[in-house]
């Protein structure tokens, strides 16, 4: 028999017991029926700052203190009545403070069956309980936050394909939470059919690559209501690195999506309104400008009348510019600007812009310095549109510089780009506004008393036009009162044979041969003013104010050129055009559509109806003149 030598090193059974129980971290005590300690281990004694020997033999009440003893007394009564028991209790120990204890009592019975004492095993749970309480508080807080924020949570087991979901998640889906779980199949059934595939792909992407991410998608509730949600998920991997779970949140973002949609809708309606407004404002402007032109040609002798005529002319022009800007910005916003790009030299654009802006600069008494590029710089650009952008910068320089300022326009090359710069010594731009002035309706000074009129869209248009040409525009200023610089950069056209660049010189202006012309417009002012202008150019002009009348007059007048309004009540311009093409008298006449609408689609329609030309109202005298030039050769 092998005898373990260790117990024999210990003299008595009591020493042996002490040795073994002292190794335990939990407190153990053996008490007698008289409620005195028979034995305690080290862990028990240390709690009271004593050694086991100092406790043995003393009464429980004395060692624990009166208060603590009273609180556990009922349990001692029960164990001494023979009941084994376990309980948890908050005890206030004198000198130690409040502790939360777990106690297990075992009654001790002697050979005769008498109760002679009990053994107590006591565990201090205070730290654990505090942690548990803290955890529970945090969880409550989290749950409150989730509920308040409408955030649902999920914990998706990728192996079983079952997700544990919070009640908020089920509320978002509009279903009962049941046992709090949802299978992957059930989830797929909630996802909107149009979004399902996309979200699944997104989830697979997260599982296979990134490990975390989120996306918006729609869910369909059982009652058919569609809600937008945003999910955010994070993959948790097992020890081998394989994705095991995905935890995440689901947020109902329907309100946000609706707000975004109504903003977009409002924005679209604003653009449409601007387009309609500008279009409607243009109609009365056309005859006013025509009338002013006529006054110009006829030149009333009375200086007062001349003065009045000039005012009409100038103000109508200014109004036209504002209306054109409005129309342009609404076109830009709706992506409906068409560019007619051609190979053009930068200086031609600069010249054109100067032509427009020089009067404005001169009126303000500014000194203008222009530097042209040293070499010809060729661009692929819409000359009119680029000149418009540049002219907007020049007009601004004139507007935002005190009378008698110095404005410098320089152009040149910077690497593979052409650069045009407009520099003024005017009021300057505060640095915090520099990035904003290109936004629609942005103005530095928004007070009604500000000296300069304008809608705050000139720069928006300029930037859009420049960007549509693959270029960029920037503004710089050293601050208020320190002047401003606007710089446009545009890509240069690819090289081409120099021979191609030879431009035909425009011939000497000669009077044209006269033409038979018919003007058809239901707006009598429009028709008559255009007719008058054409007559002053030496043509034979007749007018008509509706379709049937137009057909009649055409048969009799046999016009070579017909201006035809599209939007007329009864028979519209398209129909009239078709019929004119069917009449032998007008089969070969030049048919020009006049309309407020100049989009690709409108042009296509008018072409289909048999029109040769499509002019947008108000008709520009220059466009009219070149039209007449084409038809009627100039006389020597």
The interface region with ligand ADP, picked from 164-172, 257-265, 440-448, 566-574 by CB under 6 A, is 440-448
CB 75 within 8 A of CB 105: yes
The least CB distance from residue 422 to ligand ADP, in Å, is 7
- Output the six-digit token pair for 532: 């008058």
Nearest 5 degrees, angle CA 527-CA 533-CA 536? 135
Nearby residues of 262 by Cβ (< 8 Å), 6 or more positions away = none
User: Which residue is nearest to ligand ADP, using beta carbons?
Assistant: 454
Q: Name 40's bridge partners.
A: 29
Q: Which of 17, 444, 571, 631 binds ligand ADP (CB under 6 A)?
A: 444
Please provide the distance, in angstroms rounded to a whole number, between the alpha carbons at the two ends of the chain: 144
In this structure, how many other beta carbons lie within 10 angstroms of the beta carbon of residue 119? 17
- Is residue 425 part of the contact set for ligand ADP (CB under 6 A)? no
The least CB distance from residue 398 to ligand ADP, in Å, is 8
Q: Which of 429, 517, 532, 593 binds ligand ADP (CB under 6 A)?
A: 429
The least CB distance from residue 354 to ligand ADP, in Å, is 16
Q: Name 334's bridge partners.
A: none
Q: Report the SS3 class of residue 455.
A: coil
Q: Report the SS3 class of residue 510.
A: coil
Q: How far is CA 80 from the centre of its chain?
A: 77
The interface region with ligand ADP, picked from 53-61, 275-283, 287-295, 435-443 by CB under 6 A, is 435-443
Residue nearer to ligand ADP on the CB measure, 424 or 521: 424
Could you give the CA distance from residue 79 to residue 106 in angstroms, rounded to a whole number? 7
β-pair type (613-616, 590-595): parallel
The interface region with ligand ADP, picked from 122-130, 439-447, 521-529, 586-594 by CB under 6 A, is 439-447
The least CB distance from residue 505 to ligand ADP, in Å, is 36
Q: Name 97's bridge partners.
A: 93
SS3 content of the chain, % helix, strand, coil (to 5): 45, 25, 30
β-pair type (367-371, 406-414): parallel
The least CB distance from residue 426 to ligand ADP, in Å, is 5
Binders of ligand ADP in range 379-418 (CB under 6 A): 392, 396-397, 400
Could you give the CA distance from residue 629 to residue 616 in angstroms, rounded to a whole number? 19
- Is residue 424 part of the contact set for ligand ADP (CB under 6 A)? yes
Closest alpha carbon to 420 in 501, 490, 504: 490
Binders of ligand ADP in range 474-513 (CB under 6 A): 484
The least CB distance from residue 431 to ligand ADP, in Å, is 12
- Output the six-digit token pair for 287: 């005859």
Residue nearer to ligand ADP on the CB measure, 226 or 451: 451
How many residues touch ligand ADP under the rule CB under 6 A: the total is: 22
The least CB distance from residue 328 to ligand ADP, in Å, is 12
The least CB distance from residue 442 to ligand ADP, in Å, is 6
Residue nearer to ligand ADP on the CB measure, 216 or 421: 421
The interface region with ligand ADP, picked from 240-248, 283-291, 437-445, 562-570 by CB under 6 A, is 437-445
How is residue 177 annotated by DSSP? -
Place of tokens 């556990």: 72
Residue nearer to ligand ADP on the CB measure, 156 or 400: 400
Nearest 5 degrees, angle CA 123-CA 39-CA 91? 35
The interface region with ligand ADP, picked from 80-88, 246-254, 442-450, 614-622 by CB under 6 A, is 442-450
| C-alpha dist (Å) from residue 560 to 107, 399, 473, 557 | 126, 46, 46, 9
Residue nearer to ligand ADP on the CB measure, 428 or 618: 428
Residue nearer to ligand ADP on the CB measure, 487 or 540: 487
- Is residue 426 part of the contact set for ligand ADP (CB under 6 A)? yes
Q: What is the CA radius of gyration of the chain?
A: 46
Residue nearer to ligand ADP on the CB measure, 107 or 428: 428
Nearby residues of 239 by Cβ (< 8 Å), 6 or more positions away = none
Q: Which of 219, 437, 490, 632 binds ligand ADP (CB under 6 A)?
A: 437
Mask 76-95, x = binds ligand ADP (CB under 6 A)?
Answer: --------------------
Binders of ligand ADP in range 446-475 (CB under 6 A): 454-460
Residues that bind ligand ADP (CB under 6 A): 392, 396-397, 400, 424, 426-429, 437, 442-445, 454-460, 484
């Amino acid at each position: 028999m092998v005898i373990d030598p260790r117990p024999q090193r210990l003299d008595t059974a009591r020493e042996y017991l002490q040795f073994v129980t002292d190794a335990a971290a939990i407190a153990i005590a053996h008490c007698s029926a008289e409620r005195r300690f028979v034995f305690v281990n080290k862990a028990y004694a240390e709690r009271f700052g004593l050694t086991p020997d100092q406790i043995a033999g003393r009464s429980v009440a004395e060692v624990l203190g009166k208060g603590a003893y009273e609180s556990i007394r009922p349990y001692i009564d029960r164990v001494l009545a023979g009941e084994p028991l376990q309980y948890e209790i908050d005890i206030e120990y004198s000198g130690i403070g409040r502790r939360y204890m777990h106690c297990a009592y075992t009654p001790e019975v002697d050979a005769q069956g008498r109760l002679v004492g009990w053994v107590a095993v006591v565990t201090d749970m205070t730290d654990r309980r505090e942690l548990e309480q803290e955890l529970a508080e945090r969880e409550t807080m989290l749950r409150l936050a989730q509920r308040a924020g409408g955030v649902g949570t999920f914990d998706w087991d990728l192996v079983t394909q079952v997700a544990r979901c919070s009640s908020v998640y089920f509320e978002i889906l509009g279903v009962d939470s049941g046992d709090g779980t949802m299978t992957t199949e059930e989830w797929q059934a909630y996802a909107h059919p149009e979004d399902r595939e996309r979200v699944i792909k997104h989830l697979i992407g997260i599982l296979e690559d990134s490990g975390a991410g989120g996306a918006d998608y729609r869910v369909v509730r059982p009652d058919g209501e569609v809600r937008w949600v945003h999910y955010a998920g994070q993959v948790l991997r097992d020890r081998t690195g394989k994705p095991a779970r995905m935890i995440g949140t689901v947020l109902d973002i329907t309100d946000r999506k609706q707000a975004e949609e109504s903003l977009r809708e409002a924005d679209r309606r604003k653009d449409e309104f601007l387009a309609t407004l500008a279009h409607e404002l243009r109609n009365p402007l056309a005859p006013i400008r025509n009338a002013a032109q006529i006054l110009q040609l006829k030149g009333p002798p009375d200086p007062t009348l001349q003065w009045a005529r000039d005012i009409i002319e100038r103000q109508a022009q200014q109004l036209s510019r504002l209306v054109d800007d409005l129309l342009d910005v609404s076109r830009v916003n709706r992506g409906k600007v068409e560019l007619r790009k051609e190979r053009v030299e930068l200086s031609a654009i600069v010249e054109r812009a100067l032509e427009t802006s020089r009067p404005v600069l001169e009126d303000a008494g500014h000194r203008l310095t222009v530097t042209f590029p040293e070499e010809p710089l060729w661009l692929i650009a819409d000359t009119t549109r680029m000149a418009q952008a540049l002219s907007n910068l020049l007009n601004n320089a004139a507007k935002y510089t005190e009378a008698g300022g110095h404005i410098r326009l320089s152009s040149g090359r910077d690497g593979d780009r052409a650069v045009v710069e407009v520099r003024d010594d005017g009021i300057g731009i505060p640095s915090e506004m520099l990035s904003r002035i290109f936004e629609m309706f942005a103005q530095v000074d928004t007070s009604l008393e500000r000296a300069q009129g304008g809608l705050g869209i000139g720069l928006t248009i300029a930037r859009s036009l420049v960007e549509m040409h693959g270029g960029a525009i920037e503004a710089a200023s050293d601050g208020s009162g320190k002047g401003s610089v606007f710089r446009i950069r545009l890509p240069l056209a690819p090289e081409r044979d120099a021979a191609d660049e030879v431009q035909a010189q425009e011939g000497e202006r000669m009077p044209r041969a006269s033409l038979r012309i018919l003007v058809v417009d239901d707006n009598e002012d429009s028709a008559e003013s255009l007719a008058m202008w054409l007559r002053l150019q030496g043509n034979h002009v007749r007018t008509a104010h509706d379709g049937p009348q137009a057909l009649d007059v055409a048969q009799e007048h046999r016009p070579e050129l017909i201006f035809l309004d599209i939007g007329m009540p009864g028979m519209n311009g398209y129909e009239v055009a078709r019929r004119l093409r069917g009449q032998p008298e007008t089969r070969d006449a030049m048919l020009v559509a006049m309309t407020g609408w100049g989009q690709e689609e409108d042009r296509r329609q008018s072409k289909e109806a048999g029109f040769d030309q499509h002019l947008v109202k108000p008709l520009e005298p220059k466009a009219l003149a070149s039209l007449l030039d084409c038809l009627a050769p100039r006389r020597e």
